Amino acid sequence: MKAVTIRGVDAEVAEKLKSTAAKQGKSVNQLILDIIKEGLGLKKEKKHTREYDDLDDLFGRWSDEEFQEIQEKINRERTIDPELWS
């Protein structure tokens, strides 16, 4: 893999790169590579990672509280009763 050095990066740009990379959970190097690829039209969109919500109006959507309540019920049902299996 080829290494490229970029000279003349001022402090403001360097700080913005660092903060943006931190917000995205990436290294500065990965952020810069992503920016370059996107600028050159080489960035490939990942398949099957897009979230769709086009049917929510028909079927609704659970709130976080509703999800927690349902998940707790599911977890209780998955608990094995030792008396039944002894």
So what's the pLDDT on residue 46?
A: 72
| pLDDT, tens digit, 9 for 90 and up, residues 22-38 | 999 999 999 999 999 99
User: Radius of gyration of the chain from Cα atoms?
Assistant: 24
The C-alpha angle with vertex 65 and arms to 59 and 71, in degrees rounded to 5, equals 80
Give the pLDDT band of residue 82 (cuts 50, 70, 90): confident
Count of structural domains within the chain: 1
Residue 48 lies in a domain: no
3-state secondary structure of 58: helix
Residue 41 lies in a domain: no
Residue 72 lies in a domain: yes
| pLDDT, tens digit, 9 for 90 and up, residues 46-72 | 777 777 777 777 777 788 999 999 999
CA pair distance 76, 20, nearest whole angstrom? 42
Residue 61 lies in a domain: yes
Residue 50 lies in a domain: no
Residue 33 lies in a domain: no
Tokens coding 3: 């290494």
Residue 38 lies in a domain: no
Residue 69 lies in a domain: yes
Which residues form the domain of 68? 57-81
Tokens coding 76: 């209780």
Tokens coding 22: 């931190």
